[in-house]
Amino acid sequence: MDSNLLKVFVVVAQEKSVTLGAKKLGYAQSNVTSRIKQLEKNIGCTLFHRIPKGVVLTQEGEKLYTHAIEIVKKVEDAILDMQDIKKQQKLIVGSTDCNAAVRISSFLMKLHEDHPHIQLELLTGTTRDVVDMVLNYKVDIAFVSGEPKSDELMILKKYEEEIAILEPKDENTPNVILSFKEGCAYDEFLKNYYIEKGEHIEKSLTFGSLETILACVKSGMGKTLLPTNLVEKLGFSDELTITNLDKNVAYIPTCLVCRKNYIPKIKEYLINLDLTS
């Protein structure tokens, strides 16, 4: 089976559009359509349902996709290995937005300083988003909040965090949770924390900015849970009531992870990288 056809198939599946897939690949749309038809002919089944807004995978397409992303990734890795078997040519890094705010700049600058030949890319999102990126080979390594539950992932390094409940200075705080998007590990922990304590949660509000969350806490809208180094970084340490949680209650380290079957060549460097200096 032609790996080039599989690559086209994977990109179209990820973009959910032949047009967007062609744009990402730098191909003419007719070329992409032709390659998809050729792949469908080769395997003897339809891979996509055509819908008004694009395409969605058929049942057969979903089954092929699981194999295709691994095949495409292995072919790309083989090409890079043959170009220079000892060097990491490219590193795609995933990161939670919380980690990006406090640690990612120094991490990327130090990495570039020590390995200037490596091409770096960065993708951000919630812990749930970033874990999915690693599992689907969209990133090589990722910073996530908490120890990952998937058996397919391995932890390269842990960064200990001091976790705190953040409330406004006013003591009459509504039991409203202010969180950063669905899939945020801190949001999920805080909700479970209050449920276990038997406290009623009035409602939960989500925001797209960490600074906005802290500003809303300061204004008395509700409570949130975040690492204290992030609160300090964004300049809210003296503006909020900060209740640090014992690590026996809230142990949520930031973990640098990768797939067990896709370990970066600079693994030892990443494990020993010191960002405190």
Q: Give pLDDT tens digits for 219-272.
A: 999 999 999 999 999 999 999 999 999 999 899 999 999 999 999 989 999 999
What global pTM score does this model have? Answer: 0.69
Here the tokens at position 71 are 């095949």
143 and 37 in one domain? no
Over residues 178-193, the mean pLDDT reads 87
145 and 258 part of one domain: yes
Percentage of the chain modeled with pLDDT above 70: 97
> Does 277 fall in a domain?
no
Same domain, 8 and 30: yes
| Domain tally, the chain | 3
Full domain range(s) for residue 155: 90-160+253-272
Q: How does pLDDT run across 77-127, given as a tens digit for each residue? A: 777 766 655 567 899 999 999 999 999 999 999 999 999 989 999 999 999
> Can you tell me the distance from the alpha carbon of 9 to that of 13, in angstroms, rounded to the nearest whole number?
6
Distance CA 251, CA 182 (A): 20
Structure confidence by residue, pLDDT tens digits, 21-48: 999 999 999 999 999 999 999 999 999 9
Domain limit, last residue, from 51, 83, 115: 83
229, 261: one domain = no
Q: Say yes or no: 15 and 72 in one domain.
A: yes
